[in-house]
Amino acid sequence: MVGEDFAALLAAAQRGSEQAFSVLWRDVNPALLRYLRVVAAEHAEDVAAETWVQVVRGLPRFTGDEVAWRAWLFTTARRRLLDQVRLRKRHPSEPLDEISPMDIPR
């Protein structure tokens, strides 16, 4: 946890400070990846990346303390995970080595 410096770091990150954002990222990303590896092992890195894209987009509008920040981040991750699950159900894939030559369109 960042602690007392959180409000200042958040404000700086919202103004575009890459250094401040990197402190926030380094603080919470390991926990985010641990969570995603438990709930979506093989897609954890992809979901984390999508989560951070959404966080960067929404950062200027975020208000709250450090607890709210973490809740927002993990809620965003959960939503991105659900999006990933829905996408994979609509567009299932299978490895090419498991497709027989008879199933390949000509």
Quick: pLDDT tens for 44-64: 999 999 999 999 999 999 999
Q: What is the pTM of this model?
A: 0.79
Tokens matching residue 32: 């985010």
CATH class of 3-89: mainly alpha
Task: Look at residue 42 in the predicted model and tell me its pLDDT.
Answer: 85
Tokens matching residue 106: 């000509």
Average pLDDT estimate for 56-83:
96
Cβ-in-10-Å burial (0-12, 13-18, 19+) of 13 comes to buried
CA 64 and chain centroid, separation: 19
* Residue 65 CA neighbour count, 13 Å, CB half: 4
Map out the domains of the chain as residue ranges: 3-89
